[in-house]
Amino acid sequence: MKKTFKLVTLSAAAALALSFAGQQFASAAAFTDLNNVPDKEKIIALQNSGLIKGISASQFGPHIPISEAEGVQMIVNALGLNLDLIRFVKEPKATDYFANANDSAWYAQALIIAAVHGLDLPADLKPGQKLTREEFTHQLIDAIEISGRLPMIKPVVVEFKDQDQVKADYSGSIQRALNYGVVQLDANGKFNPQQKITRAEAAVAISNALAYLKAHPAPEAANEILTAEQAVQLIKEAVGPEAGLQIKIAPASSMSRESFTYLLVHTLQTSGQLPMIKLNPVEIKDNNEIDILNSGAIQTAIALKIVSLDADGNFHPKDAITRADATAMVSQVHEILKKSSTK
């Protein structure tokens, strides 16, 4: 099944602006179970601003654990992630991504949104299962780093007493969460990674995450260099869930123009979405700099107008791919797929 889409969403920074705007209308009267909850004003602000939906005000008490489905919904809503401007050849279902999901359940749309945006959720996610502090923290940090285009930082390592109880896969996310100020250790210097996280704790963490995003807006420079991880994510967004990408390159390293072009064209071909064309190779002035394995993909990309040569006829294959260049290529792919789907 082919599911092709275009991704344009409300930014997390814009979502945060809405949350702060809603604070002036916040009223503690409806939150009858928050009297003993630290940072309760953050929960009130999120609820009144509409960034926490589907969970009533009276259900944020200090002892109510949050389920996997509720956690995903809270993150998706708070970051303003949606499918509004995403085009699918065939509408997806939650079970396309998560075998344990129910396609008619209240959480189905949130799971689809999370999957399409590339959030790191387990394929065997169980919607009703309660989340631990380490699981939710990892999911939230992954979401803000993707949606906010945050650079992967090398955190100052924070030592805590129960560090040995943290799963290795979550260790980096938790360290970055502590550095971002999204979560804090308790009075005894513990993170309590295996403890079930409450709705109130999750809401406070989300509020802290949004505050960090507001203070660290995504770079808008046209010459921003994409990391390999970001480049691969763009290709996945262009091609859809069929995009099977396996690259041997460090996620934080840069990717060259020729490598990005090859991966984009190759992924389109292997997913069966590249239109058949009669290829007439063009002269490329710096062709001697192009890896012969990438040459065919680059010629195909030029023929389809996914890329173009500069005024002097050069492709600049070894230059690092910028966000502006990559986005322009992906936009052209969307146009090609849109035309082919209407035939």
How do the pLDDT tens digits run along the chain, 343 residues long?
Answer: 333 333 333 344 444 333 333 333 333 334 555 666 677 777 777 777 766 655 554 566 567 899 999 999 999 988 888 887 666 667 889 999 999 999 999 999 999 999 888 888 998 999 999 999 999 999 999 999 887 767 667 778 999 999 999 999 999 999 999 999 999 999 999 999 999 999 889 989 999 999 888 888 765 555 778 888 888 878 877 776 555 555 566 777 888 999 999 999 988 888 777 777 778 899 999 999 999 999 999 999 999 999 999 999 999 999 999 888 888 888 888 777 777 655 5
C-alpha 101/C-alpha 111 separation (Å) is 8
Q: What are phi and psi of 171, to 5 degrees?
A: -60, -45
Is residue 238 located within the same domain as residue 171? Answer: no
Asked if the structure places residue 4 within a domain, the reply is no
Contacts of 168 (CB under 8 A, 6+ apart): none
Say whether both 57 and 111 belong to one domain: yes
Of 215, 247, 282, the residue that ends a domain is 215
Number of domains in the chain: 2
Considering 194, 215, 236, which residue would you say is the last residue of a domain? 215
259 is a domain residue: yes
Q: What pLDDT score does 184 carry?
A: 94
260 and 136, same structural domain? no
| 269 and 188 part of one domain | no
Residue 220 lies in a domain: no
Instruction: Mention every residue, 6+ apart, whose C-beta is less than 8 A from residue 96.
Output: 1, 3, 112, 115, 241
* Residues 60 and 161 both lie in one domain: yes
Q: Supply 43's token pair.
A: 């929960």
Asked whether residue 42 is assigned to any structural domain, the reply reads yes
What pLDDT does 118 receive?
84
What is each CA distance from 205 to 18, 136, 239, 254, in whole angstroms? 17, 9, 33, 31
Last residue of a domain, one of 215, 250, 282: 215
Rounded CA-CA distance 45/55 in Å is 14
Instruction: Identify whether residues 137 and 199 lie together within a single domain.
Output: yes
* Whole-number Å distance between alpha carbons of 68 and 136: 8
CA–CA separation, 308 vs 328, rounded Å? 11
Q: Are 22 and 78 in contact (CB under 8 A)?
A: no
253 shares a domain with 163:
no
One domain for residues 147 and 42: yes
3-state secondary structure 216-265: CCCCCCCCCECEHHHHHHHHHHHHCCCCCCCCCCCCCCECEHHHHHHHHH
- Judgement on whether residues 109 and 146 belong to the same structural domain of the protein: yes
223 part of a folded domain: no
For residue 7, being part of any structural domain is answered with no
> Does residue 262 lie within any of the structural domains?
yes
Q: Looking at the structure, tell me whether residues 150 and 270 fall in a common domain.
A: no
Domain span at 101:
12-215
**Together in a domain, 53 and 156:** yes
Query: Quick check: helix, strand or coil at residue 65?
Result: strand
Same domain, 47 and 151: yes
pLDDT value at position 196?
A: 96
Most distant CA atoms of the chain, gap in Å: 72
Report which of 85, 95, 97, 80 is spatially closest to residue 16, judged by C-alpha positions: 80
CA distance 320 to 302: 18
Q: What confidence score (pLDDT) does residue 13 get?
A: 42
In a domain, 294, yes or no: yes
Name the burial class of residue 3, with classes exposed (0-12), middle (13-18) and buried (19+) by CB atoms within 10 angstroms of its CB. Answer: middle
What DSSP assignment string belongs to 93-110?
Answer: -GGGT-TT--TTSTTHHH
